[in-house]
Amino acid sequence: MEKVTYLSDKFINYKGETQQFVLCAVSYMLDDTTKSLSVGVSFTHPKDTFNEEIGETIAYNKAIDKPCCYLETDNKGVINTALVTCVLTNIVEQIQKNPGKFIAGYNDAEKKYKQTCEASKTWSQMTEEDKSFITKLVKVTDSQIKHFRNIWRLIDGKR
């Protein structure tokens, strides 16, 4: 017989958006002497509407198939309501501090987002002349660059 416990919470992602998630803890007997606890988590995309029932289903399936946390003991009394609450609370804190530990691709997306923000800031501080130059420069082909470099070397050598 399994016992299932759910906990819903949220965190603020790198864009400052609220993301909700659901944790599911499933405790069950593996055999006559061994009890286990599996925890799964599902995340709602910030642009999606949170649906707790769907989140619970996904988190339950992950707890069974791909747990983010797994405990096993031969002392049945160790895995109890207090321990499950403690484990779930701890995982909530970990997600809120470091979502990239639980969400595949999160850290790469955060890095790219920060680079894009920095580039946008730099662009906004440029003069129109610099913006025009860069706009033209990025359209130059590799063969044109090689050609211009050869011309520059010839001209620079005559100075």
- What are 5-20's pLDDT values in tens digits? 999 999 999 999 999 9
More confident: 132 or 23: 23
Residue of 8, 77, 65 lying closest to 38 (CA atoms): 65
Dist CA 140 CA 138 (whole Å): 5
Tell me what the mean pLDDT of segment 93-99 comes to. 97
Dihedrals φ, ψ of 74, to 5°? -100, 5
Dist CA 70 CA 44 (whole Å): 22
pLDDT above 90 (res 41): yes
How is the chain split into domains, by residue range?
3-105, 110-157
Q: What is the pLDDT of residue 156?
A: 77
Q: What is the pLDDT of residue 19?
A: 96
pTM of this structure: 0.80
CA 143 to chain centroid: 40
DSSP classification of residue 141: -
Q: For residue 158, name the pLDDT band (cuts at 50, 70, 90).
A: low
pLDDT above 70 (res 159): no
Residue with tokens 């923000």: 117
Q: What is the pLDDT of residue 123?
A: 93
**Ramachandran category for residue 126: left, alpha or beta (phi over 0 → left; psi -120 to 50 → alpha):** beta
